[in-house]
């Protein structure tokens, strides 16, 4: 799928329903979107790491220090969620390379373009996702 990286997309290109589903243009579009998302997350993580390296918190007031520590804990939790998100992005990139991207892992049906636009790591159609969540909720209630 190296040819996808060399594929020039027209300025402002957006996948449309009137073109063949998951054609090379659409795959290149979503691959670019996923790679940019991953790069943005890594840049944010690097900025967080650089800030952490600047040294420990030196707040003289206990309340200020507690507030800063809470902010850091929240930031680190966010980074952990983003680390997990990167693994989902990598899985989506592998699906692009294997030709499975854009198709529901449960039904095999195409995932709608608006859903992929909003959540490019989606692995299920909206209907399959909702059914999965209902079943998960029922099993949790048991």
Q: Given a cut of 60, is residue 1 above it in pLDDT?
A: no
Among positive and negative, which fits the CA dihedral 116, 28, 90, 108? positive
Q: Given a cut of 90, is residue 4 above it in pLDDT?
A: no
Q: What is the pLDDT of residue 7?
A: 83
Q: What is the pLDDT of residue 49?
A: 72
In this predicted model, what pLDDT tens digit does every residue of 90-99 receive, in sequence order? Answer: 999 999 999 9
Contact of 24 with 6, CB cutoff 8 Å: no
Topology of domain 18-101 in CATH is 1.20.120
- How confident is the prediction for the chain on average, in pLDDT? 87
Residue 122 phi/psi, 5-degree rounding, is -55, 140
Tokens, residue 79: 């980074």
Domain ranges, ordered by start, for the chain: 18-101, 103-142
* 1-7: long-range contacts, CB 8 A cutoff, minimum separation 24: 1/27, 1/31, 1/96, 1/97, 4/28, 4/31, 4/96, 5/31
Percent of the chain with pLDDT over 70: 89
* Number of CB atoms found within 10 A of residue 113's CB: 19
pLDDT mean over 38-48: 87
Contact of 89 with 37, CB cutoff 8 Å: yes
């Amino acid at each position: 799928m190296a040819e996808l990286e060399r594929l020039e997309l027209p300025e402002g290109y957006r996948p449309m329903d009137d073109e063949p589903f998951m054609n090379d243009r659409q795959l290149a579009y979503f691959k670019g979107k996923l790679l940019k998302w991953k790069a943005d997350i890594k840049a944010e993580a690097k900025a967080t790491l650089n800030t952490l390296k600047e040294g420990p918190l030196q707040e003289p007031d206990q309340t200020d220090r507690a507030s800063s520590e809470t902010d850091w804990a929240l930031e680190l939790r966010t980074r952990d969620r983003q680390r997990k998100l990167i693994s989902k992005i990598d899985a989506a990139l592998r699906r692009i390379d294997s030709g499975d991207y854009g198709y529901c892992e449960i039904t095999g049906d195409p995932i709608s373009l608006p859903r992929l636009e909003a959540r490019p790591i989606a692995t299920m159609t909206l209907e399959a996702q909702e059914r999965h969540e209902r079943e998960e909720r029922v099993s949790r209630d048991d």
